[in-house]
Amino acid sequence: MDSNFSLTRVVKLIQRQWLSVGMVYLMTAGVLVGIIVTFYSFEMARISDAIAYNMSYARPLDFRMMLFFLLGLLFMTLMGSSYFMHMGSKGKAIFELLIPAKKSEKMIAALFFTVLFSTAVYLAIFFAVDFAFISILKSRYPQEVLYMDHQLGKMVTQEALSYFSLTGIDSNLLKVGVWIYLLNALFLLGSISFKNYQFVKTAISIVLFSTLFFLCKMLYNYVVNDDTVIVDYAGYKTISEVLQNSLYIITISVTVVVWGITFLKLKEKEV
């Protein structure tokens, strides 16, 4: 095997890995479609009630934002946890490790499936189901709804039944995506670190570590900030925003570090 990095070999490796993880992806995607369709089906009754009482459709459809992120979290962690799970079986692990490809190429293939491909599949499924569901509703119900705006004190017209892909994602919730990819990286590390029950063991480890972290944080706030009085709220808010932005940068950095540890674990397996 050529010791130099080869993009052609990476493409062939991705094609080969699809034979190993493709069925898991298809099954998970099928379950995902079923869950999304179920939630949307239950919302039909709420939309009917909104029409009966001349209310805004937007409120019954508010579930989409939370559903989008919660299912995204579940889907991305499952994909991360399933990629290296065959490493727990000695026979399958030996077969996988003997694949003629550099460790860096195998890691790139892993990130392709667990990050890029998983994200694309999830977005395509969610937006497709939403488009189909909203299109059906648009054909059955009015495009606009008239309701009483108590702040303005008059009846106003609001556009109803907008597609989720066109509504825009709340900027605060969008930042949650950084944490989703961190968890995806942690579950990918767990899939190669544990021999069996990778998803459960990784989830338990994260819960225990998170609990310990928040307990330490609460103790720190109690000891250090117990008698603190905020005098300059504007300055405090500015500092708080800086800390939040720094936290996102740290989260991205930790995600890259976790990928690096996963790469080292892959090298350790091959040794």
Pairing mode, strands 144-149 and 154-159: antiparallel
Alpha helix positions (H), 1-117: 7-52, 63-83, 90-97, 103-111
**Which residues, in sequence order, are bridge partners of residue 147?**
156
54 by Cβ neighbours in 10 Å (0-12 / 13-18 / 19+) ranks as exposed
| pLDDT per residue as tens digits for the range 142-182 | 666 565 566 666 666 666 667 777 766 666 666 777 888 98
pLDDT by residue (tens digit) across 171-218?
Answer: 666 677 788 898 899 998 888 887 777 788 888 888 887 787 777 767
Q: Rounded to the nearest 5°, which phi and psi values hold at 194?
A: -100, 145
pLDDT > 90 fraction of the chain, expressed in percent and rounded: 7
pLDDT, position 199: 80
- For residue 120, what pLDDT band results from cuts at 50, 70 and 90? very high
> Has residue 26 got a pLDDT over 80?
yes
DSSP codes joined into one string, 166-231: HH---HHHHTHHHHHHHHHHHHHHHHHH-SS-HHHHHHHHHHHHHHHHHHHHHHHHHHHSTT---S
Rounded Cα–Cα distance for residues 40 and 27 (Å): 20
Least confident span in 29-33, 146-150, 231-235, 254-258: 231-235
Compare 101 and 204 and report the one with higher pLDDT: 204
Which contacts of 166-172 are long-range, i.e. CB under 8 A and separated by 24 or more positions?
A: 167/64, 169/65, 169/68, 170/65
- What 8-state DSSP symbol labels residue 85? G
pLDDT at 51 over 50: yes
pLDDT at 230 over 50: no
Domain boundaries, given as residue ranges, for the chain: 7-270
Beta strands in the chain (DSSP E): 144-149, 154-159
Kindly report the pTM of this predicted structure. 0.78
Token pair belonging to 58:
């937007």
Cα distance between residue 258 and residue 91, in whole Å = 26
Question: At residue 260, does pLDDT exceed 70?
Answer: yes
Residue 155: per-residue pLDDT: 61
